[in-house]
Amino acid sequence: MFNSFGNIFRLTSFGESHGKGVGGVIDGFPAGIIIDEEFIQQELNRRRPGQSILTTPRKEADKVEFLSGIFEGKSTGCPIGFIVWNENQHSNDYNNLKNVYRPSHADYTYTVKYGIRDHRGGGRSSARETISRVVAGALAKLALRQLGVSITAYTSQVGPIKLEGTYSDYNFDLIETNDVRCPDPEKAKEMADLIYKVKGEGDTIGGTLTCVIKGCPIGLGQPVFGKLHAALGNAMLSINAAKAFEYGVGFKGLKMKGSEQNDVFYNNNGRIETRTNHSGGIQGGLSNGQDIYFRVVFKPIATLLMEQETVNIDGIDTTLKARGRHDACVLPRAVPIVEAMAAMTILDYYLLDKTTQL
């Protein structure tokens, strides 16, 4: 249950980390959109493992294969089916974890809920499931291009190392020039050095991603239970290891008075805009035409290559030490996932908005 995301634009995903593959079915995608498969593959390449010394060395091509819904390079309006085959599973790396519960993983909760779990890489709870999100998000990005909407995420903090400026202070063209995906080259090196150091200790570290949506039409969202920021928060917090979400000035607003935080309207050559954007592009639950920006906090990855205390399936105290290939920091590979979830949400809410008035 609950393997589908969205209302009109809807993704249903399937697959496990060490199963035959991961894929999905997308329904509600508009017809006539030019499908740039090279762009979609590039988005998957940004997510795939083994892309740098900072990520898991698991080698997967993550080549997407489309099964339906595309004809002569365009979407047909019919369901788009796709799959990415798993090619480099090392399932034996997880045999020592079959009868124990890994700390801060889904092992215990899955076992209690379902009475069975796939111990090979976490099965469905593995972040490999996000492949389907990136494919669907890339398709959503292609549709949003026609509306002039762009979505960009980047690493803004790793552990204690963080960018002090706002998103407008940085050149987004620099994001893909380093393995951390940070628009500040000096901070990126500090972040990479920290991740590499932590990885060498067999430990992990977390941080924050910032995402910016430009060109969003005014009025997306529903004023009560379908607020746009709530939808974005729901999308982001559905990502593995995501622990917190804030938009606009967020918690920094606690230090401001209302007179300081209010976004004052003015007439900008016939266009109503705001002099500031503390609201993060969303007011009353609806997009207001300004840039939407938010931050997502990711915890340190739970799989450590060091000994930890735990219990086994019989409830007996024991210790474990994970084996295999794992990330020390999720942030670099989470950048395209955050963008994908934002793109799916915005496209879905754009299509919903088309039902507001005849």
| pLDDT tens by residue, 162-211 | 999 999 999 999 999 999 999 999 999 999 999 999 999 999 999 999 99
* Pair 95, 31: CB distance under 8 Å: no
- For the chain, the distance separating the N- and C-terminal CA atoms, rounded to the nearest angstrom, is 34
| Averaged pLDDT for residues 204-230 | 97
**Do β-strands 70-71 and 74-75 pair in parallel, antiparallel, or remain unpaired?**
antiparallel
| pLDDT tens by residue, 21-30 | 999 999 999 9
- Residue identified by tokens 């940004």 is 46
Which residue from 157, 337, 348 is spatially nearest to 239, judged by alpha carbons? 337
Residue 220 CA to residue 218 CA, distance in Å, equals 6
- Residue identified by tokens 């996932």 is 337
Residue 284 tokens, joined: 């009353």
* Pair 18, 123: CB distance under 8 Å: yes
Q: Return the pLDDT at 87.
A: 83
Q: Which residues contact 4 (CB under 8 A, 6 or more apart)?
A: 10, 11, 12, 13
SS3 for the chain is CCCEECCCCEEEEEECCCCCEEEEEEECCCCCCECCHHHHHHHHHHHCCCCCCCCCCCCCCCCEEECCCEECCEECCCCEEEEEECCCCCHHHHHHHCCECCCCCCHHHHHHHHCCCCCCCCHHHCHHHHHHHHHHHHHHHHHHHCCCCEEEEEEEEECCEECCCCHHHCCHHHHHHCCCCCCCHHHHHHHHHHHHHHHHCCCCCCEEEEEEEECCCCCCCCCCCCCHHHHHHHHHHCCCCEEEEEECCHHHHHHCCHHHHCCCEEEECCEEEECCCCCCCEECCEECCCCEEEEEEECCCCCCCCCEEEEECCCCEEEECCCCCCCCCCHHHHHHHHHHHHHHHHHHHHHHHCCCCC
Q: Return the pLDDT at 125.
A: 83
Q: Return the pLDDT at 58.
A: 62
Q: Return the pLDDT at 89.
A: 57
For the chain, percent of residues with pLDDT exceeding 90? 74
Please determine, for residue 92, whether its predicted confidence score (pLDDT) is greater than 80.
no
Single pTM value for the model: 0.93
